[in-house]
Amino acid sequence: MGTKKEIAIPSGLKLLSSNELKTIAITCMVIQHAMYSGLIKNYFNLPEAIGTITMPIITFLLVEGYMHTRNVYRYFFRLIIFMLISELPYRLIFPMMPQEEFYVGNIMATLALTLVAIYLFDRVKNILFLIGFSFISIIILANILSVDYGFYSIILAFNFFFFRDNSIIKLIIFYLVYITRYSNFIIGLIIVCLLAMYNDNITNKKKFSLKQKYIYKYGYYLFYPLHFIALYLVKLSRCLVK
């Protein structure tokens, strides 16, 4: 019998580590949030479009993190802790609307829920009923909580996880999902290229001290609430100057 052949991207094109992808993602996020803060204008709808790069990359890396984590429960609780830390800073830029009864807005809530969805899918992947039940339940919960991006991240995560050994297929499916949501063919292609260039071997081969590992590990988490505070202070200072 023949062995299963992986459909993969040529290794020569894989040039980006996870930290480099994270840096690209948070840079795009800051540009979009600066626009939402009123600090920059949405010229040609470009800041808005650039911001859509963030979620696919972060979701992709979440799936990678799930597949490599030593303790998924610790991973989950880390997301929950930073969800709680980030909610008030998030509200500095995205205040609660009067019609919102319960709304966990920041992206950490979305990622925590997405991680649960991947975990359930992974654990019950051989039972069709439980797969469908898990998928539908998580989507309903995402809508009840009104988490950022809704169930978009969950759909992306299922695709990235299920087709983790078929890089070309998962990127094609991602592109179709992305253009269905945003209708931005060029930005979609840019994201596909960035994800195709991810090389986990580069990430693993880089030698870091224990201190450096903690800085990289928690630095990206801390950046999320801190950038809201920074944007708010810049916005506040501009209002005081006027």
Higher pLDDT pick, 117 / 132: 117
Question: Cβ atoms within 10 A of the Cβ of 82, count?
Answer: 22
Predicted pLDDT at 1: 40
pLDDT in tens, 34-53: 999 999 999 999 999 999 99
Predicted pLDDT at 57: 97
Predicted pLDDT at 3: 44
pLDDT in tens, 180-228: 999 899 999 999 999 999 987 666 656 667 677 778 889 999 999 999 9
Amino acid at 232: Y
Question: Cα separation of 91 and 89, whole Å?
Answer: 5
Predicted pLDDT at 148: 56
Predicted pLDDT at 151: 74
Q: Any idea where the domains of the chain sit in the sequence?
A: 11-241
Task: Give me 125's structure tokens.
Answer: 């992947």
Task: Return the top range by mean pLDDT from 110-124, 127-141, 205-219.
Answer: 110-124
Query: HSE of 86 in the Cβ direction (CA atoms, 13 Å)?
Result: 25
Predicted pLDDT at 99: 53
Q: Of 59, 68, 58, 66, whose CA–CA distance to 24 is shortest?
A: 58
pLDDT tops 80 at residue 111: yes
Question: Cα separation of 104 and 124, whole Å?
Answer: 27
At residue 223, φ and ψ (nearest 5 deg) are -60, -35
Among 105-119, 130-144, 169-183, the range scoring the smallest mean pLDDT is 130-144
Global confidence as pTM:
0.86
CB 47, CB 27: distance < 8 Å: no
Q: Using the Cα atoms of residue 193, residue 224, residue 28 and residue 206 in order, give the sign of their dihedral.
A: negative
pLDDT tops 50 at residue 2: no
